[in-house]
Amino acid sequence: MATSINEVTRIGVLEQLVGYHLRRTSSIFATDFSRAVAGTGMRQVLFGILSIIRANPEINQGNVGRILGIQRANMVSLVNELVDKGLLHRETSSEDRRAFALTVTPTGEALVDACLAEIRAHEERLLDQLSAGERATLIRLLMLIESKES
């Protein structure tokens, strides 16, 4: 039986599945993130890479990829993109001549800072119904799930 626009459509068993809600939430966050940083050239994956490198100067790209769950081939092209944009500096690692040490350039630092203000506003928009304690609990619970990754 067809439902009208004004009727609530039941989602059945999906209502009880955490994965369904995580996927929907991720989609909402990704869409709003894109709007928040529109015009900067920033994407979630690039922001993640720059953030990890910023927190760990001279980290190698293999470790960045492992931390973020990015496959090696994809990581190479993403790092190339960031280097080409002048956001990242890549040089042969002094610890392992087969690896590249990565650092964020001053231009990359400025872009991360500019985007961070917009990203904080984006998160505030989406989480405004949660208290600070509830947000901390949400992050803690999500991190517990993330820790299951092998």
Per-residue pLDDT of the chain (150 residues; tens, 9 = 90+): 555 666 667 888 988 999 999 999 999 999 999 999 999 999 999 999 999 999 999 999 999 999 999 999 999 999 999 999 999 999 987 887 888 899 999 999 999 999 999 999 999 999 999 999 999 999 999 999 999 876
* DSSP state letters, the chain: ----TTSPPP-GGGGG-HHHHHHHHHHHHHHHHHHHTTTTT--HHHHHHHHHHHHSTTEEHHHHHHHHT--HHHHHHHHHHHHHTTSEEEEE-SS-TTSEEEEE-HHHHHHHHHHHHHHHHHHHHHHTTS-HHHHHHHHHHHHHHHTT--
Q: Hey, what domains does the chain have and what are their CATH numbers?
A: 41-147 (1.10.10.10)
The pTM of this model reads 0.85
